[in-house]
Amino acid sequence: MKNNAKLLKLKSIFMSKKKHKIVVTTHKNPDGDALGSSLALSRFLKKIGHNVNTIIPDAIPSFYKWMPGIDDSYIFDNDHELCDSLISDSDIFIATDFNSLTRNLKMSCSTQSIKAFSICIDHHLNPPEDEWNLLISDTKVSSTSEIIYDIIDFINPSMFDKEIAECIYTGIYTDTNKFFHCCDHSHPYEIMTNLIKMGVNVNKINNLIYNSYTYDRFKLLGYSIYKKLNFIENKGAAYIILTQKELQKFNYEPGYTEGIVSMPLSIEKVNISALISERKDRIKISLRSKTNYDVRYLAQRYFNGGGHKNASGADFYGSLDDAEKILLKAIEELF
């Protein structure tokens, strides 16, 4: 992040004498970066004296429940009324790790009408400039948590502490898939060094995030690979389809399918990997790829989704069969 005019504006808002009522929120199905960026920013804003409420749209995966600040956050799904009133009482509304309220369907009913000054901090492509009062967007960074680090570093680095560092660490480490993506520039590594100096215990946190499968979740991973993997060798593609019934068989909980989509990329000949999983209200499409293979275009063009070149996704409202047909067509046409 460069110290541009927008950062100066953000600084003047955050450092103003007025004690603001701020709501910080993030995207649905929160991942490590969504939680890391929103929790780190929330803690920073509280420390500099603002009244802050953090609203997470829906269930938090169990392997992120240890994160500092989680217990003080509200889950929109669990209490619409309270969250709506927190949003309408706020004078600043901040969204991290997504850039369009209309695309964050879960809360759009209440946030479309927000009166608060709206700020977006994000790293996804095509941010809608006119949707926000202040848009801080950098699509080249590893994660939104990296931007949050630079914002705190720019505004008031004395506020960094172990808790903020743990949140930012989680965001960067998970959004880069342990530095598999976005690892060709040095800044995120420099940040990691500083986070360790702030007290992050890398081994402890990596175990909390990655070595914390339940027995059921681990068996679901094995089942997905052994029984459900489709390999299209001449296209360098692989995909897995999981039905709602299969997920239930393994006592599905939020976060259980996280990581499955990346597994087929371990195969030498696989460059593109997809997971199609049936949820109660929709079909979730997850896409991953190796270096030069662009799955964002696939997500956008064929499923009206989005994301990054090596990690994208979409929600699909149709049958599993249709989702599979479209995926096969896309692979056929693009690769």
- Output 67 or 237, the one with its CB closest to Mn ion: 67
Site for Mn ion in 204-263 (CB under 5 A): none
Count of residues binding Mn ion (CB under 5 A)?
Answer: 5
Stretch that binds Mn ion, among 28-36, 132-140, 251-259, 307-315 (CB under 5 A): 28-36
Shortest separation between residue 304's beta carbon and Mn ion, angstroms: 19
Is 175 a binder of Mn ion (CB under 5 A)?
yes
* Residue 25, strand partner residues: 55, 95
Judged by CB, which is closer to Mn ion: 73, or 96?
A: 96
The strands making up 134-137's β-sheet, listed across from edge to edge, are 74-75, 51-56, 21-25, 92-96, 117-122, 134-137
- Compute the C-alpha angle 299/305/311, nearest 5°: 55
Written in H, E and C, the secondary structure of 273-286 is EEEEEECCCCEEEE
Angle, alpha carbons 139-312-65 (nearest 5°): 90
Shortest distance (Å) from residue 204 CB to Mn ion: 23
- State whether residue 65 is helix, strand or coil: coil
Least Cβ distance, residue 126 to Mn ion (angstroms): 15
Binding segment (CB under 5 A) for Mn ion, from list 104-112, 125-133, 170-178, 209-217: 170-178
Q: Closest Cα to residue 148, out of 185, 189, 120, 113?
A: 120
Q: Tell which one of 25, 30, 33, 35 touches Mn ion (CB under 5 A).
A: 33
Q: Which is nearer to Mn ion, 54 or 144 (CB)?
A: 144
Residues with Cβ within 8 Å of residue 190, at least 6 apart in sequence: none
Residues 136-155 touching Mn ion, rule: CB under 5 A, are 143-144
The distance of closest approach from Cβ of residue 123 to Mn ion in the complex, given in angstroms and rounded to an integer, is 6
- Closest residue to bound Mn ion by CB: 33
Nearest residue (CB) to Mn ion, 33 versus 150: 33
27: left (phi over 0), alpha (psi -120 to 50) or beta: beta
- Looking from the CA of 192 toward its CB, the CA atoms found within 13 Å total 18
Residue 33 or 166: the one with the smaller Cβ distance to Mn ion is 33
What sign for the dihedral angle of Cα 208, 139, 97, 294? Answer: negative
| Minimum gap (Å) between residue 33 Cβ and Mn ion | 3
Residue 109: partners with Cβ closer than 8 Å, 6 or more residues away = none
Helices (H) and strands (E) in the chain, counts: 12, 12
Could you tell me the smallest distance in angstroms from the CB atom of residue 312 to Mn ion? 12
Measured from the CB atom, the residue of 50 and 308 that comes closer to Mn ion is: 308
- CB-wise, 125 or 232, nearer to Mn ion? 125
Neighbours of 149 (CB within 10 A): 32
- We find the least distance from the C-beta atom of residue 23 to Mn ion, in angstroms, to be 19
Binding mask 188-207 for Mn ion (x = CB under 5 A): --------------------
Minimum distance, C-beta of residue 216 to Mn ion, in the bound complex (Å) = 27
Cβ closest to Mn ion, residue 166 vs residue 175: 175
Backbone angles phi, psi at 282, to 5 degrees: -170, 180
Q: Based on CB atoms, which residue is closest to Mn ion, 90 or 144?
A: 144
Q: Shortest approach of Mn ion to residue 209 CB, angstroms?
A: 15
- Which residues contact Mn ion by CB under 5 A? 33, 97, 143-144, 175
